[in-house]
Structure formats: structure tokens, C-alpha cells
Amino acid sequence: MQHSIRIGLVFSHTLAYCRGVLRGIKRYAETAPHWTFLPVAPEPQAIRTLRALRPAAVIAHVFSEELAGSLRRVRVPVVNVCGVLPKASFPRIGVDDHRCGVLSAEHLLERGFRHFGFVGHRDHAYSLRREAGFRGRLASAGASVTSYYEPGRRPFDPMGRLWAQDRAIECWVRARPRPVGIFAPNDIWGVQLTEVCLQADLRVPEDVAIVGVDDDDLLCEFARPSLSSIALPTQRIGYEAAREVDRLLRGAQADARTLLFPPLGVIARRSTDILAIEEADVVAALRFIRELAHQPIRVTDLLRKVPTSRRYLERRFRKLLGRSILDEIRRVHVERASQLLVQTDLPLHSIAERSGFTDAKRFSAVFRQMMGLTPSAYRQRLRCGNPGGPTSQPAT
């Protein structure tokens, strides 16, 4: 009989991110039946209890230096799945925060916004990285960002409690030129922004469009209106964290390396369901394309819906969006296909059919041209437990 190996799990179950990571850990553990889990809360007394139980290794959501110090005293390999701390004292498996910011910027740019804001925290590393990605992508489009930072040096809250709504952020939001697209680095801040806008008599998304991160289904649907959010590969992160623990237990050298996985994409809801473009013909054309993303669209079909000349509409698309009508049709089809690849187990021919492509061969060619991967490789890269896909970085 194989000796049982104890694995400590240090998580708060309140955050949707942590619950997703735990699901991924459980999936990996199906290949390691000799593992025994020791789940404890991320609190000093619980860590002392964990130390007494003598785990072989720990997977933890390390959100503070105090917690990191407690875990170092356990004196076993620790794998961190949290991006709050600026320096990696343990191997870290996580999400590419910079890419989250880029995706948010592209989502708002695609909807025609020209004014942008960011709400976050000066001392949380993941917030700073997401802001940097957001700023960088907007700078490449000739746009700038105004940021609001949570006042004080409040520590990260693993319980996901909402920060207080104060007069300062309401004044900040009121002062933004409208319409404005605002990026919040997690859904907790995103929900709070919807409430701030309600208090300030600002319409979401007509005056203020908001994008969060985590795709927490409860928070996103609780928001008024529902919150658009960036979905993260949480189960993949958990699976790879467990794989890293297994590697360390087999004698691999422990180091502070970082493995990052790309976000899954923006899940659009009501908080960004708007086209911030004043030209009615362009707005009508974009709505037609998005409403028919599930079926083939010809430019001639579009021109019957929007009675104007193709030459005029092409000029306006290129001026306002930086791409042609056909480019926009392909982009919307590929966006729908990428979500189906990650969120369903549909075969490729079904995804092609439901994403507006006439056949699987054409679907594969266009998808690879735009995404740099075949549909199969894209699905494999982002689905939990499959090889390939992470970005490896040195300790930072």
C-alpha cells in the first residue's frame, strides 16, 4: 500500500478565483490517489495547525508578506497561485495580468470608446500589471488613461469584502468625459463601480462602460447592470500548481520561477453593451454583424440592412475602427469561436457552423491567421490539464 502524502491547501473559499483553482487541483489529484488534502484558512493560527500536521507540500493563495512568512516556517515546498505580492518568494502559477489589461483595452476600443479610466490599487502587483497592459494597449491606439487608486495602504482582502464607497471616487467618476470606458482589475471593484454610478445618476453603459476581471458569475450578475468581465483559466492554474508540487516532491529543484497563462477572453454583458460611436450607419452595421455572429455574413447582406454605399461605409469603418468591414466580420466570428472552444466540448465542425463559417477548413484557416494557432491548439492551450501554453518568467 502506497504511503499517503499530505498536501496543504491554504485558501479562502469566498473568492471565485480560489474556488476555480481548487477545482483544478482536484482534477490533477485524480492522477495522484495517494495524496491527502489538508485545507486550512489563510490565517496565522490555521498555519500553525497545518505545520503540526506535517504536510509534504503546500499550495497557497499567498496574498500578504505575513502569510508568506508563516508558510516559510512550515519548511516544505510551497506553490503560490496569487499575484498580489510584487516579488515571488515561492514558485508562482498564475494568469498573465498584462494580457488582461490588453484585452480590456481592446474590448473598449472595439466599442468605439475614446476616453478611458482605471480603478485599482497602488500596492497590489496584479493591479499594477493589469493597469500597465491597459495603458500600453491604449497608448498604441493614441489614447490615454486617468486612474483612481484606492486610498490608503489597505491590505488585500481574501474574503472579497467590498471596499467602502466614498465621495472621492464618485467625484472622480463624475469628472470623466463621457462616454468613458473604465477597467477594474477585479469584479469586486467592478460591482462597486456600478453602484457608484447609480448613486451619481450616471448610466451604465451609456455614460460609463465597465469591465472587470475574474468572471465571477455571482458578482457579475449581481451588478446593476450585469458586469462584463475577463474570464481566467483558474482550473488550469490549479492543475499546473498541483503538477508543480508533484514535480518538487519527485526531487526537482525548488526555485522562484513564474508560469503564467493567458486569460480566456472577455465575457460581454450589459455593462459594455454599447457602441460609443456617433455615426448611426456605422453603429447599425456593427450591431448587425454582432447579432448575426452565429451565421455567415456577406457584405452585400449588410448593405441591404444599412442603405448606404459600400465605399462610404468602408471609409468610416477604417477611420473609426481601423479595420475594414470584412475584417470586422471575421473578428466577430473568431471571437465567438474562441469562446466556444474554451467553454464547450463541441467538435470543431460544430463550432465552425455556430460561428458563421461555411466549413471547418475555412474556419481553421481564418482562425489560425488571426490567432496564431489552429483551433485545436488554442483549445488545448487553454483547457485545464493539457500541455503547452504558459509563459515562463524569472522571479520578479
Would you say 169 and 194 are in contact if contact means Cβ atoms under 8 Å apart? no
Provide the 3-class DSSP secondary structure of residue 213. strand
Provide the CATH number for the domain formed by 97-233+266-272 in this structure: 3.40.50.2300
Provide the CATH number for the domain formed by 5-94+234-261 in this structure: 3.40.50.2300
pLDDT, tens digit, for every residue of 289-305? 888 888 999 898 898 88
Provide the CATH number for the domain formed by 280-382 in this structure: 1.10.10.60
Residues in the chain: 396
| Residue 2's pLDDT band (cuts 50, 70, 90) | low
Q: What is the mean pLDDT of residues 37-62?
A: 95
Q: What is the mean pLDDT of residues 5-26?
A: 95
Has residue 343 got a pLDDT over 80?
A: no
Which residues touch 322 (CB under 8 Å, ≥6 apart)?
141
In DSSP terms, 5 is beta-bridged to 35
Q: Report the alpha-carbon distance of residue 165 to residue 173 in Å, rounded.
A: 12
Would you say 192 and 162 are in contact if contact means Cβ atoms under 8 Å apart? yes
pLDDT, tens digit, for every residue of 198-235? 999 999 999 999 999 999 999 999 999 999 999 999 99
Grid coordinates standing for 227? 458586469
**Domain assignments of the chain as residue spans, ordered by start:** 5-94+234-261, 97-233+266-272, 280-382
The residue with cell 467553454 is 343
Has this prediction a pTM greater than 0.95?
Answer: no
Has residue 256 got a pLDDT over 50?
A: yes
| Residue 264's pLDDT band (cuts 50, 70, 90) | confident
User: Which pLDDT does position 165 carry in this prediction?
Assistant: 61
User: Which pLDDT does position 392 carry in this prediction?
Assistant: 47
Give the amino acid at 170.
E
Would you say 77 and 58 are in contact if contact means Cβ atoms under 8 Å apart? yes
Q: What is the mean pLDDT of residues 21-50?
A: 94
- Residue 47: C-alpha distances to residues 28, 54, 87, 246 (Å): 24, 11, 21, 21
Asked if domains 5-94+234-261 and 97-233+266-272 share a fold, the reply is yes
Provide the 3-class DSSP secondary structure of residue 338. helix
Would you say 43 and 53 are in contact if contact means Cβ atoms under 8 Å apart? no
Share of the chain above pLDDT 90, in %: 67
Q: What is the mean pLDDT of residues 68-75?
A: 94
Has residue 254 got a pLDDT over 90?
A: no
Would you say 208 and 237 are in contact if contact means Cβ atoms under 8 Å apart? no
Q: Is 152 left (phi over 0), alpha (psi -120 to 50) or beta?
A: left
Better pLDDT: 396 or 211: 211
User: Which pLDDT does position 164 carry in this prediction?
Assistant: 55
pLDDT, tens digit, for every residue of 139-192? 999 999 999 998 766 777 776 665 556 788 999 999 999 999 999 999 999 999
Would you say 77 and 57 are in contact if contact means Cβ atoms under 8 Å apart? yes
Q: Please give the full DSSP string across 100-134, using - where no structure is assigned.
A: HHHHHHHHHHHTT---EEEEE-SS-HHHHHHHHHH
User: Which pLDDT does position 1 carry in this prediction?
Assistant: 47
Q: Please give the full DSSP string across 276-329, using - where no structure is assigned.
A: ----HHHHHHHHHHHHTTTS---HHHHHHHS-S-HHHHHHHHHHHHSS-HHHHH
Better pLDDT: 396 or 81: 81
User: Which pLDDT does position 394 carry in this prediction?
Assistant: 43
User: Which pLDDT does position 383 carry in this prediction?
Assistant: 60
Q: State the SS3 of 37-101.
A: EEEECCCHHHHHHHHHCCCCEEEECCCCHHHHHHHHCCCCCEEECCCCCCCCCCCEEEECHHHHH
Has residue 49 got a pLDDT over 50?
A: yes
Q: What are phi and psi of 352, to 5 degrees?
A: -60, -45
Better pLDDT: 87 or 2: 87
